[in-house]
Amino acid sequence: MPHYCTLIPGDGIGPEVAQAAVRAVDATGIDICWRRAELNEAIILEAGKTLPKYLLDSLNETRVGLKGPVTTPVAGGFQSVNVQLRKTLDLFANVRPVKSLPGIKTRFADLTIDMVIFRENTEDLYSGLEQEVVKDVVTGLKVITRAASERIARYAFQYAAKNGRKQVAAIHKANIMKLADGLFLRCCREVSEQFTHIKYKELIVDNASMQLVVRPETFDVLLLPNLYGDIISDLAAGLVGGLGIVPGANMGENHAVFEAVHGSAPDIAGQNKANPTAMMLSAVMMLAHFGEADASYRLQAAIESVYREGKHVTGDVGGAATTEEFTDAVVRNLKS
């Protein structure tokens, strides 16, 4: 029986890295029935600000998606389709493993960085509730609920327990947002009491940013509300070599959509330059979700082996290979 996956290439570099990931997954020999669903700025504009029906129908059928990035207009235009998708399917947990890869020369190359970010994915300042109260005075609503905070905290602690992780750090700004972040933090604390074998600590987001740069190797599981999770994800990506290599998963009760941390990178789109590693590693997570542990492991190992060898890596991580050359190398490793 094949596994079914809605493939959403997205726009910008999305179609290039999605194509690379499909080639790599297919090379594992696992039978995936890909249902392609286009999603880009033009389609959203035509659909009139809501997600196209064919996309939701497909995701409701397959329950699993592999998604490329989609461009969102800045300061105006439609609401981010990513935010819409996460809310519509209630993909409440954004899981982002940030791990050093062999051979990438970063300032932190001597350290082993291996952390997993759990970002609440449905509320906070991403509520989209903004208004101009009077001319030139705008307010935006930061929504934090007990239900969503407990849910992400439980998810992070359960993951930590299952995967032998030693420590969860809740990251907040409750010294200033005493009610909103205060509630988030209270929920994290309460959930932590049910997992006494896992060390629990709390860090204010500004201090956490500094600690991440100074001693990134001391972080294990990070638990954050939506906005801080978004920002800290990019910071953490920078520690291990950039956005080209950090994967992610949006997990709900009934659906899972796997996608890289990076955006549509319009500056390099269509140039065969994009690093498809983040998308391929998202597919590694997808294979594990399908229960294909062996294929997931083999794909991860094939990618790591290309990095170890260092001959076919892309420009963002210091190499000169094209998207296609990197993909060819991964496929060769899988088949050898």
Residue 230 known to be catalytic: yes
Q: How far is CA 225 from the centre of its chain?
A: 14
- Stretch near ligand NAI under the rule CB under 6 A, chosen from 114-122, 161-169, 264-272, 299-307: 264-272
- Smaller CB distance to ligand NAI: residue 145 or 322? 322
- Smaller CB distance to ligand NAI: residue 90 or 150? 90
DSSP H helical ranges for the chain? 14-27, 41-47, 53-62, 81-88, 146-162, 180-192, 205-214, 226-240, 277-289, 293-309, 323-335
* 71 near ligand NAI, rule: CB under 6 A: yes
- Of all helices (H) and strands (E), which one includes residue 221? strand 221-224
Could you count the other beta carbons within 10 Å of the beta carbon of residue 176?
Answer: 12
* 244 near ligand NAI, rule: CB under 6 A: yes
- Stretch near ligand NAI under the rule CB under 6 A, chosen from 123-131, 199-207, 215-223, 256-264: 256-264
* 262 near ligand NAI, rule: CB under 6 A: yes
Question: Number of C-alpha atoms within 13 angstroms, CB side, residue 200?
Answer: 20
- Smaller CB distance to ligand NAI: residue 198 or 261? 261
Both tokens assigned to 171:
């990251």
By residue count, the chain amounts to 336
- Residue 132 main-chain phi, psi, to 5 deg: -90, 105
CB of 96 to ligand NAI, least distance (A): 11
* 265 near ligand NAI, rule: CB under 6 A: yes
List the one residue from 6, 19, 58, 82 that touches ligand NAI (CB under 6 A): 82
Q: Say which residue the tokens 């990513």 belong to.
A: 82
CB of 197 to ligand NAI, least distance (A): 34
- Smaller CB distance to ligand NAI: residue 84 or 167? 84
- Smaller CB distance to ligand NAI: residue 216 or 241? 241
Out of 206, 294, 311, 335, the active site residue is 206
Out of 124, 173, 307, 316, the active site residue is 173
DSSP 240-282: HT-GGG---EEE-SS-EEEE-SS---TTTTTTT----HHHHHH
Dist CA 233 CA 10 (whole Å): 20
Query: What does the per-residue mask of binding to ligand NAI show for 275-314, with x meaning CB under 6 A?
Result: x--x------------------------------------
* 70 near ligand NAI, rule: CB under 6 A: yes
**For the chain, how far is it from start to end, CA to CA, in angstroms?**
25
List the one residue from 120, 181, 220, 259 that touches ligand NAI (CB under 6 A): 259
* 37 near ligand NAI, rule: CB under 6 A: no
Both tokens assigned to 277:
């590693």
Give strand pairing partners of 268.
Answer: none
Give SS3 for 285: helix
Given CA atoms 27, 97, 257, 81 in this order, what sign does their dihedral have? negative
List the one residue from 39, 85, 243, 249 that touches ligand NAI (CB under 6 A): 243
Residue 201 known to be catalytic: no
Point out the residue whose Cβ comes nearest to ligand NAI. 263
Residue 173 known to be catalytic: yes
* 316 near ligand NAI, rule: CB under 6 A: yes
Residue 206 known to be catalytic: yes
Dist CA 152 CA 150 (whole Å): 6
| Catalytic positions, written as ranges | 126, 173, 206, 230
Binding site residues, ligand NAI, CB under 6 A: 13, 17, 69-72, 82, 243-244, 259, 262-268, 274-275, 278, 316
